[in-house]
Amino acid sequence: MSAPSSGGASRDGYGKALLRLSDDPRVVVLEADLGKSTKSCHFREKYPERTVSMGIAEQNMMLVAAGMAASGKVPFASTFAIFTERAFEQVRNGIARPGLKVHICGSHGGIHTGTDGSSAQSIEDLSIYRTIPKMTVIHPCDDLSAEELTVQLLDYSGPSYMRTARNKVPRMYDDQSKMGLRIGVGSVLEEGEDVALIACGVMVEQARNAASALSNEGVNCTVVDMHTIKPLDTSLLSTLAESCGCIVSAEDHSVFGGLGSAISEWISTNNPIPLEMVGVRDRFGESGSTSDLMEELDLTSESICDAARKAINRKNSS
Amino acid sequence: MGEAAQDKIAELEEMARLCRIDIVKMTHAAKSGHPGGSLSAIDSMVALYGTSMRFDTSNPDWDDRDRFVMSKGHASPAMYALLHQMGVLEESDIMSFRTMGSACQGHVDMNWTDGVDFSAGSLGMGLSFGLGCALSARMDSSERRIWVMLGDGETQEGQVWEAVMAANYHNANNLRVIVDRNRIQNDDFMEVQMEIGDIGSKFESFGWNVREVDGHDMAELVEVLHWTENADSGPIAIIANTTKGKGVSFMEDNPDFHGKAPNDKELETALEELS
């Protein structure tokens, strides 16, 4: 795996992917007055006849997308992550229950979105969509992986929710390594035998930073980009439970119901090994710079290091 | 009206009578369900399927068929009765209504029933779905038209008006709505719960082409459906003034029969009245 290179926000990858998908005439894009933010605007610019403006009306957008999917289209509907939550029941009953292939993208997810404040910082989206039967839930870590995974959605069965992030982060992939990405298959970025750091979204970068810091202490980490929260790559979890014996999860999301919970559900019923979770602990955010907020809420590489040491101690003392 | 037209009206009225019998029988058998709103909506549904609707009972999945979106999905007995009378569903299907494995789920469901185009249950969603179907039809240069059956109580849901606004903005001229204006919702009369007032003028203010009819006058329903064939602009809304529980005396205008099945004695009375 090559070293991270600079620059890309996962929402940019989503926008590029829509353009790559445009050759398929079934692909349609729905917007709710946030196309410039979610980056669906690039598709609109080139294919206005296949882009539908729904105004600031997310509930309507979800069911219009459902009607289009039932008519043979492959709709990609996007708005801010938090506003998709407004239409939760529409997604549950109107899209997922009939198994309609609508792909929802919630951008500006998590605390990372920053200065807009807590009303815009969705920290529960992965959790709520994970509870819906038939729903695939994806949270890429950079622009290249977001692009690749979005492109794969075209031929993926059933509805999906993808969370993208507002801000640029160092790339975890390059044009070659991104080709190895597969929906539903966790991506191993580094291999070590002491602890597995399993992260998603912007926390993948923090996990790699933590692995680097821990290596100075002689701790060897496996780092996984678990971009697909559901279906969870339990085969990889099984392997890591054997090879590392303890896990740290890291997510810019509540510890209730997200990646850490998903991992916990699996290991507690299959291979109970120590798990420590890094994530938002039952609180809302506030306005602030991304770095200040991530520090305030313990979403940092230092938090991951602390969690890793604790997990290793628990493993060794058991 | 010529003799042939009169015969057609009589044929449709007979079909509606048979559907009403199915509605009370299946809700009685299930000991649950929503007879009131099914009995109010059935005449306009029979008129639609008996005249304007383009579909093929031998090929319910025909791509270019018109779509019918039963947004008030609790009135599923009306849909199932119609499909039964058209030969799509068997007697055994409708008599297994609301039981495990039945093709007749509690609320209409496109994955369970041939001839059902929408999975309903939560009110307020069907018009948006219909708009998605309508926009897709236009993108595909298809002539198919999309019909949506809305309840009047359902228009209390804000999403309905999001869709009303969007349909006009996107010039969805292939989208047609029937509002079953029976003035009763789950708990009570709308005027007690949340009266919406003049629904037609609200659609009109959003740019829709609106006609108001007696939703139980088959000749009037057929005439307005004929009018929609040649209407030249805008999405169309037909406000069908109806009586909840129409055709069964003790259910008429009675909020209790929104979501209550007839018992044995009530079934007997209902069948006598419908014979």
**Contact criterion met (CB below 8 Å) for B274 and B247:** yes
Question: Which among B124, B133, B170 has the least Cβ separation from residue A70?
Answer: B133
CA atoms of B174 and B98, how far apart (whole Å) = 33
Question: Which among A49, A59, A67 has the least Cβ separation from residue B131?
Answer: A67
Confidence of residue A301 (pLDDT cuts 50, 70, 90): very high
Catalytic residue among A31, A58, A147, A251: A58
pLDDT of residue B198: 97
Question: Which among B119, B121, B162 has the least Cβ separation from residue A59?
Answer: B162
Domain A5-171 has what CATH class?
Answer: alpha beta
The reply to whether residue A67 touches residue B133, judged by beta carbons under 8 angstroms, is yes
Contacts of A73 in chain B (CB under 8 A): 136, 139
| Nearest-10 crossing angle of helices B218-230, B35-50 | 50
Interface test with B, best of A22, A60, A97 (most B CBs within 10 A): A60
Contacts of B121 in chain A (CB under 8 A): 93
| CA contacts within 13 A on the Cβ side of B39 | 35
- Tokens for A261? 């919970």
**Residue B12: how many other CB atoms lie within 10 Å:** 21
In the three-class reduction of DSSP (H, G, I as helix; E, B as strand; rest coil), residue B209 is classed as strand
A vs B, Cβ pairs < 8 A, gives 101
Q: What value does the mean pLDDT take over residues A219-242?
A: 98
The tens digit of pLDDT for each residue in B15-24 reads 999 999 999 9
- Cα-Cα-Cα-Cα torsion B124, B148, B241, B162, nearest 10 degrees, comes to 40
Which bin fits B107, alpha (ψ -120 to 50), beta or left (φ > 0)? Answer: beta
The reply to whether residue B165 touches residue A59, judged by beta carbons under 8 angstroms, is no
The tens digit of pLDDT for each residue in B218-262 reads 999 999 999 999 887 789 999 999 999 999 999 999 999 999 999
Q: What value does the mean pLDDT take over residues B37-47?
A: 98
Q: Is the pLDDT of residue A24 over 70?
A: yes
A56 to chain B nearest CA, in Å? 9
Q: Is the pLDDT of residue A5 over 80?
A: no
The tens digit of pLDDT for each residue in A155-209 reads 999 999 999 999 999 999 999 999 999 999 999 999 999 999 999 999 999 999 9
Question: Which among B63, B130, B132 has the least Cβ separation from residue A65?
Answer: B132
Contacts of A52 in chain B (CB under 8 A): 135, 170
Contacts of B131 in chain A (CB under 8 A): 60, 63-64, 67
Domains A5-171 and A184-317 in one fold: yes
Confidence of residue A2 (pLDDT cuts 50, 70, 90): very low
CATH 3.40.50.920 for domain A184-317: yes
> Which amino acid, one-letter code, is at A261?
S
Helix (H) or strand (E) holding A59: helix A58-69
Domain ranges of chain A: 5-171, 184-317
pLDDT of residue A4: 40
The reply to whether residue B136 touches residue A71, judged by beta carbons under 8 angstroms, is yes
CA atoms of A295 and A298, how far apart (whole Å) = 5
What residue ranges in B110-151 does DSSP mark as E strands?
Answer: 146-151
Q: Which residues of A touch B (CB under 8 A)?
A: 28, 49-50, 52, 54-55, 57, 59-73, 75, 89-90, 93-94, 97-99
Q: Is the pLDDT of residue A3 over 70?
A: no
| C-alpha separations of B244 from A167, B181, B214, B219, B253 in Å | 55, 9, 13, 20, 5
Nearest C-alpha in A relative to B159: A60
pLDDT of residue A8: 86
Question: Which among A50, A67, A99 has the least Cβ separation from residue B111?
Answer: A99
The reply to whether residue B162 touches residue A55, judged by beta carbons under 8 angstroms, is yes
CA atoms of B216 and B229, how far apart (whole Å) = 20
The tens digit of pLDDT for each residue in B194-219 reads 999 999 999 999 999 999 999 999 99
pLDDT of residue A6: 56
The residues with which B151 forms a beta bridge, in sequence order, are B180
B179 touches chain A (CB under 8 A): no
Closest by CA position to B69, among listed B9, B11, B131, B114:
B131
| C-alpha separations of A208 from A109, A185, A281, B199 in Å | 21, 19, 22, 59
B125 touches chain A (CB under 8 A): yes
The reply to whether residue A63 touches residue B128, judged by beta carbons under 8 angstroms, is yes
Contacts of B170 in chain A (CB under 8 A): 52
The reply to whether residue B133 touches residue A71, judged by beta carbons under 8 angstroms, is yes
The tens digit of pLDDT for each residue in B160-187 reads 999 999 999 999 999 999 999 999 999 9
The tens digit of pLDDT for each residue in A45-83 reads 999 999 999 999 999 999 999 999 999 999 999 999 999
Q: Catalytic site residue A58?
A: yes
CA atoms of A212 and A302, how far apart (whole Å) = 11
pLDDT of residue A229: 98
The tens digit of pLDDT for each residue in A250-291 reads 999 999 999 999 999 999 999 999 999 999 999 999 999 999
CA atoms of B219 and B215, how far apart (whole Å) = 10
Q: What value does the mean pLDDT take over residues B24-38?
A: 98
The reply to whether residue B166 touches residue A63, judged by beta carbons under 8 angstroms, is no
Q: What is the architecture of the domain spanning B3-274?
A: 3-Layer(aba) Sandwich (3.40)
Q: Is the pLDDT of residue A147 over 90?
A: yes
Q: What value does the mean pLDDT take over residues B148-156?
A: 98
Question: Which among A55, A57, A63 has the least Cβ separation from residue B125?
Answer: A63
B14 to chain A nearest CA, in Å? 33
CA atoms of A107 and B28, how far apart (whole Å) = 49
Confidence of residue B45 (pLDDT cuts 50, 70, 90): very high
Domain ranges of chain B: 3-274
pTM: 0.96
B140 touches chain A (CB under 8 A): yes
- Cα-Cα-Cα-Cα torsion B48, B53, B59, B60, nearest 10 degrees, comes to -60
The reply to whether residue A59 touches residue B159, judged by beta carbons under 8 angstroms, is yes
**Residue A281: how many other CB atoms lie within 10 Å:** 11
